[in-house]
Structure 1
Amino acid sequence: MESDELRTILNEAGFSPYEADAYISLLETGPSSASELATASAVPRARIYDVLRSLEDEGYVTLYDRDTLTAHPVDPSDALSSLRSTVSRFENAINAIEDRYEAPDELGGEVSVVRRFRTVFDHARTVVSNAENHLQLAATDTQVERLRSALRAAYERGVRIHLSLFVPPEETPPASEELRGISHEVRRRTLPGPFLLLADRQQACYATRGRRTNEYGVLVDDYATAYAFHWYFLTRLREVYDVVHDARSAEAPFTFVEITDCVRGIELALDAGATIRGRVIGRSRADGRRLSLSGEFVAVEYTGTRDETPATLLELAAKATVVFEADDTRYTVGGPGAAIEDIAADRIVVEELSEATDIRPV
């Protein structure tokens, strides 16, 4: 660092111009008499004594009065303790400012609005690490890379992961092997959009990106609110795009984490007379008990019109129900937020088929 820059910084730290000049000159020349220091610096001889005594009072120099007044610089590890304390206070102030800037504005309940994308993304990383059953992610390739280790860990512990990956039309999507082990299904999205992560249909991390003045995010830990983001993901970010990576099995067992996917997956097979057996894992809506039932899938119900093609997502938007028989009891099965069915299912597993069918897990 040049002397002029150091002198400016010392001035900002509280040194007077003469004190900064004398102190720098003393550090460069070593122990010096007052008259020598006045010559080496820009401090007038008439002021040098007062300046040195002021530096001594501050703990930066030691003065010896022999034949002439002589100044010795104090070891910086001792002399600069007050400066270090000042720097530390500034750093603490900077951290406090950043914390206040990034702190969410509570809106009540379990919904928060934050000002920065980084806050949303850091929270998303934690949400991925804590997910138990299902992740839905809309992100860019760069964002996926930053989440790769957390996604891989979630994949390895059995979390089902659906990824809507934004890749501009002029670019080539990542090869399937690059996506292996971090997602069960990847759809290539050609239109830009927000960052969105949903976990277990309960938590949502949403953030816009663009000009800094328009940047904001929403953090959700509430099923009813997350449900709106869930349908936004299905309709706007997933349904209309092509699959570019598929890690799902082509043979039973098939696992469904979306009731809409299950209805569309088994409907035509049931219409063709196939016998479909498997498990339903979830909770009883009557008393909240966790359930894991083995039995037979016997029908599907939804509000749309039945024909020879699988139900559309729109037809399943109001109601999507699977009818399941286990232990001589018939149950209606809905998704995690089931409002009218007997069971709110986290997972539905098709284990056996009476004949070859075109069931596809999603």
Structure 2
Amino acid sequence: MDSETFVTVLEDAGLSPYEAKVYVTLLDLGTASATEIADESDVPGPRIYDILRSLADRGYVETYKQDTLQARAHDPTDVMENLQERANKFEAAAAEVETRWEQPELKSNKASIVKRFQTVVDRAEEFIRDSENQVHLSATLEDIDQLEDALREAHDRGVAIQISLHTQADEDPPQADRFNGICKEARHRRLPAPFVALIDRQKACFSHHPDSIDQYGMLVNDQTHSYVFHWYFMTCLWDHCETIYTERKSTPPIEYVDIRRLVGDITPFVEDGVTFIVSVEGHNVQTGEPQAFTGRVTDTEYATGIDGAEAPYRVAGQATLYVETDDEQLSVGGWGAVIEDVEATQIIVEDADHSVELN
């Protein structure tokens, strides 16, 4: 580093221009008289004594009398520690600039674009750790390895987690026990796919798969926007994929977070006269207030599509559950319900008056 740049850096570290020049001069000279220091540093003679006194007070130099006032640079340990501390603060500030630019807070913003895939995964991990109800995840095995601790903690809290593992076409999935304790169900897609994480119907993290031309990610904190990613997940990354692990039981009690799956499973039995008892947790569509109740299923409404086809039509159209409680009859819909009384976040089939096995 040349002397001019060195002086500028010391000024940035808190020295005045004259103090910086005098200190650099003393480092070069070792020991010198005040007059010599003034001459070498181009500092006005009348000012040199005040400057040396100031530097001595701050621990940069030490002065002593020997015919004339002499000065030498003090042991630089304290100076170096001070400069290193400042350097660390600037380095930390630079890292914070990058972090805040790459990982914008999703408070006032409903959606943000980010550059790095790792940013998307990191934010997904954060959201999963805070999850309360459900997580839908499309990821590679490497991504799942990184998110495993967060997934396991959420699973232990009772969060309903569904994982769509995507691999290369010729790559087999791991053994089923790989998913034990981190999700309720896992499916396998033999094609590369984007990374998608949907948390509590509110937050979404998305990034193109690594071979895509466009490399960017999206972070969303908004139910309406997340709903679009939900449909993409269900139609392209879930409904048609092979189940490779499940904790779901086939006989009651059975928990559902997807009303379309529930209605599709029980509709044939309801049409045959079977009565189901269900517990519902969700929100009142009109008021947004939490609502929970238990009652008897009286009917269902389920759009199966053209000529009775179920896929991909089972993820479109109306899916409604009609439940009679002791006080009233309520219509129950799923995510985005607008015509029903209740938007359900969880439904448990508690019992049935006939022996049934659901898919």
Q: Is the 8 A contact 2:192 2:209 kept in 1?
A: no
The aligned counterpart of 1:317 is: 316
Q: How does 1:43-82 map to 2 (within 5 A)?
A: 74-82=74-82
Q: How does 1:131-142 map to 2 (within 5 A)?
A: 131-142=131-142
- C-alpha spacing 1:268/1:182, structure 2 compared with 1 (3 Å): same
The aligned counterpart of 2:148 is: 148
SS of 1:224's equivalent in the other structure is: helix
The aligned counterpart of 2:239 is: 239
Residue 337 in structure 1 maps to residue 336 in structure 2: yes
Q: Is the 8 A contact 1:269 1:359 kept in 2?
A: no
- C-alpha spacing 1:25/1:166, structure 2 compared with 1 (3 Å): farther
The aligned counterpart of 2:253 is: 253
Counterpart Cα distance in 2 of 1:82 and 1:287: 59
Decide which moves more: 153-162 or 297-306: 297-306
Q: Is the 8 A contact 1:13 1:83 kept in 2?
A: no
Counterpart Cα distance in 2 of 1:310 and 1:271: 18
Shift of 1:214: 4.1
* Superposed CA offset, 1:8-61 (max 9, x none): x989967x9xx99x96998xxxxxx99xxxxxxxxxxx99x959x99x997667
The aligned counterpart of 1:183 is: 183
Q: Which amino acid aligns with 1:204?
A: A
Residue 295 in structure 1 maps to residue 295 in structure 2: yes
Aligned length: 339
- CA RMSD of superposed structures (Å): 4.1
Q: Is the 8 A contact 1:268 1:310 kept in 2?
A: no
- C-alpha spacing 1:138/1:60, structure 2 compared with 1 (3 Å): same
* Superposed CA offset, 1:99-144 (max 9, x none): 4532549897522222333332222122112211111011111211
Counterpart Cα distance in 2 of 1:90 and 1:79: 17
Q: Is the 8 A contact 2:281 2:344 kept in 1?
A: yes
Residue 207 in structure 1 maps to residue 207 in structure 2: yes
Q: Which amino acid aligns with 1:349?
A: I
SS of 1:331's equivalent in the other structure is: strand
- C-alpha spacing 1:132/1:81, structure 2 compared with 1 (3 Å): closer
Counterpart Cα distance in 1 of 2:189 and 2:199: 20
Q: Is the 8 A contact 1:105 1:114 kept in 2?
A: no
Q: Is the 8 A contact 1:196 1:204 kept in 2?
A: yes
Counterpart Cα distance in 2 of 1:11 and 1:160: 61
Shift of 1:64: 7.4
Counterpart Cα distance in 2 of 1:127 and 1:11: 47
SS of 1:80's equivalent in the other structure is: helix
- C-alpha spacing 1:353/1:153, structure 2 compared with 1 (3 Å): same
Q: Is the 8 A contact 2:278 2:295 kept in 1?
A: yes
- Identity %, equivalent residues: 32
Q: Which amino acid aligns with 2:216?
A: Y
What is the TM-score normalised by the length of structure 1? 0.76
- C-alpha spacing 1:352/1:145, structure 2 compared with 1 (3 Å): same
SS of 2:331's equivalent in the other structure is: strand
What is the TM-score normalised by the length of structure 2? 0.77
Decide which moves more: 256-265 or 75-84: 75-84
Q: Is the 8 A contact 1:302 1:316 kept in 2?
A: no
Counterpart Cα distance in 2 of 1:211 and 1:250: 39
Shift of 1:330: 2.7
Q: Is the 8 A contact 2:296 2:323 kept in 1?
A: yes
Shift of 1:197: 0.8
Q: Is the 8 A contact 1:107 1:113 kept in 2?
A: no
Gaps of 5+ in 2: 11-19
Shift of 1:350: 0.9
Shift of 1:237: 0.8
Q: Which amino acid aligns with 1:265?
A: D
Shift of 1:76: 3.5
Shift of 1:304: 3.6
